[in-house]
Structure 1
Amino acid sequence: MARVGMPRKWVFVCINERPQEHPRPSCLRRGAADVFEAMREETGRQGLVDVKVVASGCLEPCMVGPGIYVAPDDVWYGGVTVEDVPRIVEEHLAGDRPVEFLRIGREEFALSPLQGRTDLPPGMIPPA
């Protein structure tokens, strides 16, 4: 068996779970575990032994999850489904071309379920 060295790319898949009543969505409840498994399987199927897929806690773009971060490329993806995985693996992880329609940026990180709620003190989560 060949030894695998330091990964060329790291793929962090948020599988964070929050209680149902929490105002922010949970990537796990949006299918992130299936996305994580599909990503691991597809990188293996395509022979990408230099790509490491890692289950992660919260990556912060909760409003557009499941969220994925690819390093060292500094590419963020949101709303990823199992059906998107082969394209991400083939185009981005193997071909170094990010899948643009799935990319997210600062705007998505700024989304909040509390937007417009001026009745709450900073840091306060509203009751369910």
Structure 2
Amino acid sequence: MTESDPPPFYAAHVFVCTNRRPDTHPRGCCAARGSEKLRDYMKARAKELKIPDIRVNTAGCLERCEFGPAIVIYPNGVWYRPRTIEDVEEILQVHIIGGGRVRRLMLTERDVLPPKE
């Protein structure tokens, strides 16, 4: 971000991958791992908690399929892989409301696939 960029429209813009592939696809997909349920919970819970300036969006493939469900939160660019409603709740409480990070759920530069042979 440069000084001439406009301020972010949302304080937190959350993208939740809900991409769906055939069950036999070798990479799998976030939707098959429950991402739609997690997205729905996050949207409803953020509204219930009256969190200001947040947008929870559906996203297509975020290219972290093997580690999914995958979400990314901007403007920070922090990636997570929540598995449960409790994980989403922790992300909301610690990251979105508290400004911290849920390290155990973060996808980092270490979470990459081995090169194809």
The answer to whether the Cα contact below 8 Å between 1:11 and 1:70 also exists between their aligned partners in 2 is: yes
For residues 47-69 of structure 1, the C-alpha deviation after alignment (integer angstroms, 9 at most, x for no partner) is 11311000000111111100000
Segment drifting more, 9-18 vs 73-82: 73-82
Q: In structure 2, what is the equivalent of residue 17 of structure 1?
A: 20
1:76 corresponds to 2:79: yes
Question: What is the TM-score with the length of structure 1 in the denominator?
Answer: 0.79
Gaps of 5+ in 1: 1-5, 119-128
Q: Which residue of 2 aligns with 1:48?
A: 51
SS of structure 1 residue aligned to 2:69? coil
Task: Select the residue among 99, 104, 108 that pairs with 1:101.
Answer: 104
Letter in 1 for 2:103: E
Structure 2 partner of 1:121: none
Q: Which amino acid aligns with 2:86?
A: E
Unaligned runs of 5+ in 2: 1-8
The CA distance in 2 between the partners of 1:46 and 1:91, in whole Å, is 13
Is the contact between residue 68 and residue 77 of structure 1 (CA under 8 Å) also seen in structure 2?
yes
Distance 2:46 2:82 in 1: 19
TM-score using structure 2 length: 0.86
Q: What SS does structure 1 have at the residue aligned with 2:26?
A: coil
Cα distance in 2 between the residues matched to 1:30 and 1:82: 12
**8 Å Cα contact 2:82-2:88 kept in structure 1:** no
**Distance in 2 of aligned mates of 1:63 and 1:32:** 13
Shift of 1:35: 0.4
Q: Which residue is 1:111 aligned to?
A: 113
RMSD between aligned alpha carbons? 1.8
Q: How many residues align?
A: 110
Q: What amino acid sits opposite 1:32 in the alignment? A: S
Contact kept in structure 2, 1:66 and 1:80, CA below 8 Å: yes
